[in-house]
Structure 1
Amino acid sequence: MAEHPPYPVGLRLSGRRVVVLGGGQVAQRRLPALIAAGADVHLVSPEATPSVEAMADSGEITWLKRPYRPGDLEEAWYALIATDDPEANSRASAEAETHRVWCVRSDDADAATAWTPAAGHSEGVTIAVLTTDAKGRDPRHTAAVRDAVVEGLRDGTLVAPHHRTRTPGVALVGGGPGDPDLITVRGRRLLAEADVVIADRLGPRDLLAELPPHVEVIDAAKIPYGRFMAQEAINNALIEHARQGKSVVRLKGGDPFVFGRGMEEVQALAEAGIPCTVVPGISSSISVPGAAGIPVTHRGVAHEFTVVSGHVAPDDERSLVDWPSLAKLTGTLVVLMGVDKIGKIAETLIAHGKAPGTPVGLVQEGTTAAQRRVDATLATVAETVRAEGVKPPAVIVIGEVVRTTPRPSE
């Protein structure tokens, strides 16, 4: 048997009995995929890891809290043998052979009738990689091949065109805070498949350079106090290109629904009868402070954080922010789009009871190569912004968490 390579096949285990012997780390790694496949999983083990126990407590698997007994594999379609008792593993393996149950053994692959491939998933496709040389199995190489294929499909560097007709529409993709590696896997894949990309200035611009030459890129940059593409024009562009049967990606910075006007675009598309997929993104409100060493919450320091827009001053009649109430909070306050209004914001918070010495951290161009952090207090932040030349985009963090950043010992 060892002279022949394994025959690859996909098992359809939905509703079928699967027996797992052993509740240790091997079971912990393998159980989620079996559960996702819809298998009727029966775990036989006196003990289990906390994660495996949680699966049993939630009803995802049936747990028999005892060692293996002859007959446990009756009526099973598939078995995973992963106990720390070699003798029990051998007896269970023999039972699987008797009942013609495909069986994987974690302790002795040569004695098994099935091997678990290194598997990954991308857009409804499962990639399973097996070593064909039984004598020279190299699990690390197999996993590396799997990872390379999956990553290539996800980020678009490995192109596998769809041969079935795609449904035209719009994907509203949150690109994250700026670092191209922080876009979601799904967002990057949709970007790689787009015919048209309508991109914001704060989106991950480096990703645009990776697009094929045939992709039309439309600049929807809304530069503060400069040239901009009106929201109505953006909505119309999305609708127009989608109606032409094209796959359109609206690439936005951060998350589409965190001060990104994403819902306006979703509503416009819905009114036009255009299907829209929303892909959440990593919001700069938490990721940028984190990249600069500032946690928005910290045990014993802050049990809450509030995110507000600072694009209009507190004394502006258009402001919807309850600044007096924010001044009374003891948690962290994160202000987006507020660099040029930070003086008025600080004055208002102090006037309503916030201590002038409250620390403030400003992180400019967060997660990018140009990232820099400037610290101040509410009393000094306006002058510090002017002196240091802090420019948007910058995330402002107000609260004691700013002081939690570890400093190198002198």
Structure 2
Amino acid sequence: MRVLLSTYGSRGDVQPMAGLAVRLRGLGVEVRVCAPADEEFARLLGGVGVEFVPAAEPMRTTVSGAASMTPEGLPQRAAALVAAQYEVVAAAGEGCDAVVATGLVPAVAAARSVAEELGVPFAYVSYFPTMLPSPHHAPHPLPLFPFPSDMTDNRALWELNAHSFNALYGPGINAHRMSIGQPPVGDIRGHVFTDRPWLAADPVLGPWQRPSELDVVQTGAWVLTDERPLPAELEAFLEAGEPPVYVGFGSMPMGGSEDVARVAIEAVRAQGRRVLLARGWAGLGPVDDRDDCFGVGEVNQQALFGRVAAVVHHGGAGTTTTAARAGAPQVVVPQIVDQPYWAGRVAELGIGAAHDGPTPTFASLSVALTTALAPETRARAADVAGTVRTDGTAVAAKLLLEMVGR
């Protein structure tokens, strides 16, 4: 049996797919993962022995290109992505018995076209509940299509969201479908998400609320077990004093925040804590030569987060789940898409603080850190850690095998 896992997004999109790939491989399934052509993803997948098929272009190239693009150019960019992704996925999908996809909408649409062409089952997966239509939450506004300020009804907002999907993505997706002999679709969102999407989020951290019109299958989060040791220099820093506060924003450039590293360092120091800075795409690093601050690159967060006083991060699904599993209090500084949702969940669960807005200042970060570093927050984080499931990839692998068997 052979399965193709297709994603086009940041590390938060790729790493869960790697986790599922490893689980499937353990069951004797041959797996290929199609992901952006960034070197870090090649290293990630190669490091766990999973076949990597580089997609259209690196994600960093896409992010930098989108930042300089006029809004009017987004439909054309979406059309180009679906065509480029289709070529790669079609070649990678040869001989596959199923296709699972996530990431940017045009890339998912391309993967579904490949599954149709092959005549094999297709599954769409979301890593957070608010991507999927529900009367219990509002959708995320799409570029070019802000919501009217006086519209608050979730059902009305989702109806508007469906029209926005058609307007932004429909022309490119349907033009490509017709070019390869497939019929156009009238409901782009429904076509991409399917009527039975998978939700790879922990039921405690990101529960799917019912009733709902969609038959959502919640598997639990897809976690790739990381067995790498921490670098010796980092171990020495951790052993040299009290647990530090980790600050890292993953794949977020944090372009709207001036000198975010200095702001974070000063706010953490004001709490009497040491600082551990993760460079990430924001390029964070120490601002002086004091020995209470240490900078790291990409490290094993699963091994690290149980040894820090708190985790200050952007609110990606993976980082939120890893910190929660470790029992580490969190400060979420949300930037885009699902990150405000995860910030809200962290605050609601009492396992940390949701920073007010995407741009931290000394004052605002100090307020959030005071909440996260309180003894009652750490106690609550430890309690919640014991409820976070670790079987998400096993559940998803079983679903996939059953789907192919039918």
Same fold (TM over 0.5): no
Compute the TM-score of the two structures, normalised by the length of structure 2.
0.30
Q: Which has the higher strand share?
A: 1
Compute the TM-score of the two structures, normalised by the length of structure 1.
0.30
Q: Which has the higher helix share?
A: 2
Higher relative contact order (CA 8 A, sep 6+): 2
Larger Rg: 1
